[in-house]
Amino acid sequence: MTHPGSVEAPPLGAAESSEIDSVLANVSILVVDDEPGMRNFLVRTLGPRCKRIEEADSADAASKLMDGYHFDLVILDNVMPGQSGLDWLSEQRRVGFFAEAILMTAYADLDTAIHALRVGAADFVLKPFRSNQILNAVRRSMDQRYLRRENFLLKYELRADAPGTRGRLIGNSPGLTAVRKTLEKVARMPTTVLFRGDSGTGKEIAARTLHAMSDRANKPFVPVNCAAISPNRLAMELFGDVSTGRDGLLLHASGGTLLLDEVGELPLAVQATLLRVIEDNRIRPSGAEREVPLNLRFMFASNIDLEAAVGRGTFRKDLFHRINVFTVEMPKLSERVSDITELAEHFMEKFAREQGRAALPIPESVALKLARYDWPGNVRELRNLIERSLILGEFPPEFAGAADSENGEPAESLHAVERRHILSVLESCGGNRAEAARRLGVSRKTIDRKCAQWND
């Protein structure tokens, strides 16, 4: 039966129907209308396609639902008893409204349209309307929402991205192989993950890899460098602010993954708020009168000793225990000697392609000197050296020329460098293979196998 506010419409084409279904699959909708027939029509039309749908017969009932649930979209009638749809929407914007809105109206006057735009309605439909019309209005509204979020995140990453953080884990050294196996184990779990390691070891790349392996891979990955944002702006950037209309990075990452890098740099006040957010899976932006549920996976990264920070009183003990659920230790580049040449060649090809010039060859003599260097800046330092060498057209003097050892003898091979490094770590551990394996980020079996190969 057709409601007076709706019109029978021909069925959607298969392609159009599939596209609308894909847009609505993860969308929660609130329908607000005092007419039962219109609510029923919208619930029948949208309910089978969306994640969740609720209905309210008045502005007061809608407010109570908004206080208890998070909705991606609100479809509301303008003319209702007690309070008009536009007045209600304007009021909700002030107390914290984080959804798209479509206004239904039977009066298409210019003042109503202008008012709707001013209070943030994404679209409005005229009664009577066809089911196709409301479906397309919903699709347009959600497409606009997703586009705004993608644009915001793209601009944010362009402003905040550190060189080299968009890449993949390169190499097959025992330490990196162990990291990959660890990521595979935890990828499908909702577990909070803490990446630890020196600066430049690839913590963000590992976090991106884990996100790509998870069931959130097609949702946002939002990295936040806590040390790069001034302390007095961190809370607003993370949690949002109703007065400025800023949703905050946690809401922009909704459905996906948020990486808080340099988490040890968070001010104590922000740490306290973050702890509540992680435990409750809810967030209250500054100035908002209601909390918003979160669907978010948290990852953290630190290059400092967080236990020591707890001891100094600069990091909350309860937050440390909350984020230290599953730890991934990133090995230093000096512990990944067998990966250095592959990494250098990767960076050389990458920069040569970006700069439109021929790549410099990396002769064995240079490769051996790269392998023998300590790399205090880890992969980031190697990346910068290769980029600088390509620009200058030659490697720095300390890496160029014949790779002789200090006593003038021919330099050892890459395999010999790896053997020397592992044996050196073993010696420092008093021959304890389990401890050497832990320091190298490899399994005990790997150490046993290497030693067997070398008859040591």
| Average pLDDT score over residue span 301-306 | 94
The β-bridge partners of 327 are 194
Domain layout of the chain by residue ranges:
6-145, 161-331, 334-454
The pLDDT value recorded for residue 9 is 47
Q: Sorting pLDDT into bands at 50, 70 and 90, what band is 81?
A: confident
CA-based torsion, 322, 327, 333, 339: positive or negative: negative
The answer to whether 180 touches 340, Cβ cutoff 8 Å, is: no
CB of 135 closer than 8 Å to CB of 45: yes
Whole-number percent of the chain with pLDDT over 70: 88
Pairs from 248-252 (Cβ < 8 Å, separation ≥ 24): 248/283, 248/285, 249/156, 249/222, 249/224, 250/277, 250/283, 250/294, 250/296, 251/98, 251/283, 251/285, 251/292, 251/294, 252/149, 252/152, 252/153, 252/156, 252/220, 252/222
Count other C-beta atoms under 10 Å from residue 407's C-beta. 5
CA–CA separation, 286 vs 238, rounded Å?
A: 10
- Is a pLDDT exceeding 90 seen at residue 185? yes
Q: Between 226 and 414, where is the model more confident?
A: 226
Would you state the pLDDT for residue 404? 53
pLDDT of residue 159: 62
- Tell me how far apart the alpha carbons of residues 134 and 17 are, in angstroms, rounded to a whole number: 13
For residues 446-456, average pLDDT: 78
Q: Which distant-in-sequence residues (6+ apart) come within 8 Å of 170 by Cβ?
A: 339, 342, 343, 346
Q: In CATH terms, are 6-145 and 161-331 the same topology?
A: yes
Check pLDDT > 70 for residue 436.
Answer: yes
Provide the 3-class DSSP secondary structure of residue 83. coil
pLDDT band at 2 (very low <50, low <70, confident <90, very high): very low
The pTM score is 0.74
Record: fold of 6-145:
Rossmann fold (3.40.50)
Q: Which CATH number among 2.40.40.20, 1.10.8.60, 1.25.40.10, 3.40.190.80 corresponds to the domain 334-454?
A: 1.10.8.60
- CATH code of 161-331, in short, is 3.40.50.300
Whole-angstrom CA distances from 300 to 74, 191, 226, 403 are 34, 11, 10, 40
Distance between CA 363 and CA 140 in Å, rounded?
Answer: 56
Mean pLDDT for the stretch of residues 76-97? 86
